[in-house]
Chains A and B, each alone.
Chain A
């Protein structure tokens, strides 16, 4: 009797074991990833706030100016180039849509609102991520693996204050300015394709651009660009600063992987935050 019962129990256990094992391993994996994400987000938040409050120091001014030149001035050309062709493509596409409804007169309205509310901040942020964000990660990553960051600590120079704060300040200033450039050049690009090449009346176009654009639209675009700027700089600097903590690679390889992660994560976060911010300001 006893042996029959025991055999039955064993059979039941062996039947249920695989499914229990799978469930446990799924939750283990899910749980560990969630915990890691949670830890990273927490660390990133602390990293950001500690760096942000160190912006307000007189000694940070020269570094901020240097970073403004690197993030802002040196990104202006590429941002404007992309802005011009984005505007031209938008002008072309919208013209052929609007002409079907006999409403090409609202081309200026469509272009202005599309660029100012959405495309301007998003594309500018993505362009800056590609140009300056990746460079930030690589530069800080190399400084980290060559012990330059440790050297700062030993010299009583806070690495966050010296390396990160100026970049955050420069991003807060330069992202909205570059977004403005993008919008203006984009409107000009759409004017070239819509008015000069396809014959839309220039007066109507610019009248619509001006009359349909409200202050809320402009400010909404600026809010987005500031949020994107903070996200991009924090993510890129964080990835570079903690390059040495990577467990999947070491040395130069870790810098390259950190740079890739920084760009990908920044672009994803730009789009995710775009939806969140839009839902608040709309």
Chain B
């Protein structure tokens, strides 16, 4: 499919050496328009160097970087200005101007590169500040705010000019787990809303899978993989052992939930030992209304709610021998390996009752405990069950479970306003 599409940005045999240290060795990869591409790799392997080549801060020693088929080092001044004018870059260490307030930092690209009036600049910058939940600190200096807020200030500054291409250099570094997911959600939401092309460096595996259309893996000075996240999960390469496995294990340890890959591995290892006619059940949970929560209460609250739901599911179904995984940004799947459909229904009823009595009030307090919102917030949690046999692919059983989904809990219009 990729061969039929014209890449937006393409690296062709790009090499870069600093002194005697070779960082990139004839790397080739493509970035397609309107997609989120994530570049992953071990620390110090040249990910930031790769990004800096795109924006012209570094020049390749060998090879070419093409933008819509045109080599960027052969562009005329007008072409270069047009190209570079479409790109925003979010630095790994934020690169905020420490003698300027949050507002001045965000407004700066508009002030110096556009002909907008002062009032328009103010409105646009404040809108971004609000979207990134920085309203309370807009007049503070970077040294007066937390690392997470600094990161969001850098994000707001990168997005304030409505760029067509955004390069994110580890946007989630230094953030707590809630904020990490909040930032990734924000990137995904803005990407959908504004349609920009994103190239992101991230270590947040598997979270980046949910928002990425393509994954690029940089290992030993070369791109060893480029393709969709599903294919990447099945990658058989030393890179996986060094990076992915350690990160996924850590993720499990911290959240109790399996990564999608480990979920599949556990499924295969558990069910391969069973008789072919043995039954098991799969439950799929979906939290609907995430966009509304994000818009009204911010990405942090949305992430807290989804994590809280995950924690409830894992706790409840884990107690009866089940194992769970987050499948997409708002979907969880649980396998009950030793339960048939009837038993699973009873477990689900218990879960529903318990969740409505204890879980929903907790989620409600997360919502009502936040700032008042003018709109009506509606959150629906649906669950579906399906029965499977060991020889059936887990994806097919999950699809049945999605088909059988019905609401199990609902929260509506109880914001502080």
Q: Chain A: residues with CB nearer than 8 A to chain B? A: 59, 143, 146-148, 150-151, 153-157, 162
Could you list 5 examples of A-B contacts with CB < 8 Å?
A: A146-B93, A151-B97, A153-B55, A155-B161, A156-B85
Of B108-116, B238-246, B377-385, the stretch lying at the interface with chain A is B108-116
Would you call B91 and A150 a contact (CB within 8 A)?
yes
- Residues of B in contact (CB 8 Å), total 19
Rounded to whole angstroms, the CA-CA distance of A147 and B52 in the bound complex is 12
Contacts of B93 in A (CB 8 A): 146-147
- The verdict on B87 contacting chain A, using a C-beta distance below 8 Å, is yes
Rounded to whole angstroms, the CA-CA distance of A157 and B108 in the bound complex is 9
A146-B93, A147-B91, A150-B95 known; A155-B109 Cβ under 8 A? yes
Partner of B91, one of A59, A143, A151, A156: A151
Contacts of A151 in B (CB 8 A): 89, 91, 95-97
Could you tell me which residues of chain B, from 88 to 144, have a CB within 8 Å of some CB in chain A? 88-89, 91, 93, 95-98, 108-109, 112-113
Would you call B95 and A146 a contact (CB within 8 A)?
yes
Would you call B112 and A162 a contact (CB within 8 A)?
yes
- The verdict on B81 contacting chain A, using a C-beta distance below 8 Å, is yes
Closest 8 pairs between A and B when the two form their complex, measured CB to CB: A151-B95, A147-B95, A154-B89, A155-B109, A157-B112, A156-B113, A148-B95, A147-B91
Contacts of A162 in B (CB 8 A): 112
Contacts of B85 in A (CB 8 A): 156
Would you call B113 and A153 a contact (CB within 8 A)?
no
Q: Chain B: residues with CB nearer than 8 A to chain A? A: 55, 57, 81, 84-85, 87-89, 91, 93, 95-98, 108-109, 112-113, 161
- The closest CB in chain B to the CB of A157 belongs to B112
A150-B57, A162-B112 known; A156-B95 Cβ under 8 A? no
Contacts of B113 in A (CB 8 A): 155-157
Contacts of A146 in B (CB 8 A): 93, 95, 98
Rounded to whole angstroms, the CA-CA distance of A59 and B108 in the bound complex is 12
User: Closest CB of chain A to B161's CB: distance in Å?
Assistant: 8
User: Closest CB of chain B to A162's CB: distance in Å?
Assistant: 7
- The closest CB in chain A to the CB of B108 belongs to A155
Rounded to whole angstroms, the CA-CA distance of A155 and B114 in the bound complex is 11
User: Interface of chain A, helix or strand or loop or mixed?
Assistant: helix
Contacts of A143 in B (CB 8 A): 97
Partner of A59, one of B84, B98, B109, B112: B112
User: Closest CB of chain A to B207's CB: distance in Å?
Assistant: 26
Given contact pairs A155-B109, A157-B109, a sample of 18 additional A-B residue pairs in the complex whose CB atoms are under 8 Å apart: A59-B112, A146-B98, A147-B91, A147-B95, A148-B96, A148-B98, A150-B91, A150-B95, A151-B91, A151-B95, A151-B97, A153-B57, A154-B88, A155-B88, A155-B108, A155-B113, A156-B84, A157-B108
Rounded to whole angstroms, the CA-CA distance of A143 and B100 in the bound complex is 12
- The closest CB in chain A to the CB of B55 belongs to A154
Rounded to whole angstroms, the CA-CA distance of A154 and B89 in the bound complex is 6
Would you call A154 and B87 a contact (CB within 8 A)?
yes
- The closest CB in chain B to the CB of A142 belongs to B98
Would you call A155 and B91 a contact (CB within 8 A)?
no
Contacts of B84 in A (CB 8 A): 156
User: Closest CB of chain B to A228's CB: distance in Å?
Assistant: 27
A147-B95, A148-B95, A150-B95 known; A155-B57 Cβ under 8 A? no
Rounded to whole angstroms, the CA-CA distance of A190 and B98 in the bound complex is 45
Which has the most chain B C-beta neighbours within 10 Å: A59, A147, A151? Answer: A151
Would you call A156 and B57 a contact (CB within 8 A)?
no
User: Closest CB of chain B to A240's CB: distance in Å?
Assistant: 14
Which has the most chain B C-beta neighbours within 10 Å: A59, A153, A155? Answer: A155
Which has the most chain B C-beta neighbours within 10 Å: A147, A150, A157, A162? Answer: A147
Rounded to whole angstroms, the CA-CA distance of A13 and B244 in the bound complex is 64
User: Closest CB of chain B to A10's CB: distance in Å?
Assistant: 37
Contacts of A154 in B (CB 8 A): 55, 57, 87-89
